Structure 1
Amino acid sequence: MAGIDIICLSADEQMKLKIVHSIASNIYDVSIDDICSSARISRRTFYNNFQSKYAIPLWHKNFICKYTLDKIGQDYSWEEGYERFFSMCLKEKKYLLHTAQHHYDSLPVSFDSALETSTWYKNRAQQLGRALERQGIDPSEKQMRYCIEMCTRIESFAARSWIGSESPDAPRVIAACLVACVPRALYDALQKKEPQESVMNGALVEAAEGV
């Protein structure tokens, strides 16, 4: 078994995560004052971190991806990255649902069906492109561009379905299912030769709670 990762959050990340974890119900139903009171911060501190409460959901998803999906092809294999992603989503599920910007099956907006216009979708595609460039592969090549598009769509669908499920499969199970759907050309381009067995860091979410 691999050792548990120790992820050192920046002061900025710790404060933003503290704000995320202070949201006790759907983001449409709480005010900035409610959030500030729960987080025990001033309105000034809130606006130093987020332009509005509606900026919270996208930051939260990008934060999760930063430590999981975005490391595929660099630090993690596909299997490791996906398992870590779903493990972290499981720990953050309550907050993912609380920060949903609408009630579309109780799913987060950045995993919704409007993939082409989703900022998260574009960010994820860009991260895959950068990972390919680090391997000396042109992400703008037609076949690879198609693979990136399909992969991000599959990831989004899997995340939406899994997060919205009342009885989700274990992270390792859904990760294996998702890996099987990754386009082969993309999988081979970014797969590590000797993937390590993954263990999700259980201390990540708690890091913000002590702030």
Structure 2
Amino acid sequence: MNTKNIFAESLERLLKKNNLDDIQVSEIVSATSLSRKTFYRHFRDKYDLTSWYFSQFYEDSFGRITDNLNWEEALLRYLEIFEDKYHILKNAYESRDTNGLRNFDINVTRITYEKYLFSRSVDITSEIMQFAIDIASRGGTDMVIEWLHSGMKMDKKKLVELLKRTLPIDILKHIN
């Protein structure tokens, strides 16, 4: 197992019981056989580690729309991971720090939409398209976080359907 994964597993164990803002780097490190210096060789801080951890499964789920994975299938795969990692992600998204997971999620979703649309020859630089991408990234991320925090009561297939129906038309017409 590589060093980054060792720190990620330690973070995951801590997030099962604690809010991200309440976890100290020293706690993450002490649960491993590695040093604090090694931690900082790989990550700037606990938020950087959390973003790296999140990106590992994001890229294998919703991030795959750029590889021609169906939008609904990719989002459903993403939500299945949320179900599997419920307590961990709930506590990670509780962070109110500007470096927290919510802002990282919005940014990576924005990049994914831009890459997806660009690959379909859409002018992603226009003001209207930038606004549409921003709405889709922020709105979709916040609704998924709300679904998570509400205990995931809504069926995930229904959530996927609602998120797709409410995408800006300028994006929706390019979704397969």
TM tier, smaller: 0.7 to 0.9
1:88 maps to what in 2? 81
Aligned match of 1:72:
65
Q: Report the counterpart of residue 154 of structure 2 in structure 1.
A: 169
- 2:13 is paired with a residue whose SS is coil
**Partners in 1 of 2:86 and 2:129 — Cα distance?**
32
Cα RMSD of the aligned pairs, angstroms, is: 2.8
Amino acid at match of 1:19: S
Count of residues paired in the alignment: 173
How many Å separate the matches in 2 of 1:87 and 1:70?
14
For 1:22, the aligned partner's letter is R
Q: Among the aligned pairs, what percent are the same residue?
A: 16
Q: Which has the higher contact order (CA 8 A, sep 6+)?
A: 1
Q: Which residue of 2 aligns with 1:17?
A: 8
Q: Residues 180 and 83 from structure 1, CA distance in 2 versus in 1: closer, same or farther, beyond 3 angstroms?
A: same
Question: Structure 1 189/16 Cα, relative in aligned 2: closer, same or farther at 3 Å?
Answer: farther
1:21–1:95 contact (8 Å) kept in structure 2: yes
**4+ residue segments displaced more than 6 Å:** none
Name the amino acid aligned to 1:80: E
2:120 corresponds to: 135
Matched, 1:148 2:133: yes
Structure 1 unaligned residues grouped into runs of 5+ = 1-9, 112-117, 192-211
Distance 1:13 1:172, change over 3 A: farther
Decide whether the 8 Å contact of 1:121 with 1:152 is kept in 2: yes
> In the alignment, which residue of structure 2 is the partner of 1:34?
27
* Contact 2:7–2:28 (Cα < 8 Å) also in 1: no
C-alpha contact 1:57 1:96 (8 A) present in aligned 2: no
Q: Distance in 2 between matches of 1:28 and 1:153?
A: 22
From 112, 125, 132, the counterpart of 2:110: 125
Alignment correspondent of 1:202: none
Distance 1:155 1:135, change over 3 A: same
Q: For each residue in 1:136-172, what CA deviation from the matched residue of structure 2 results, as whole angstroms up to 9, or x when unmatched?
A: 2211123322321221122122122111112432322
User: Which residue number corresponds to residue 55 of structure 2?
Assistant: 62
Q: Which structure dedicates a bigger proportion of its chain to helix? A: 2
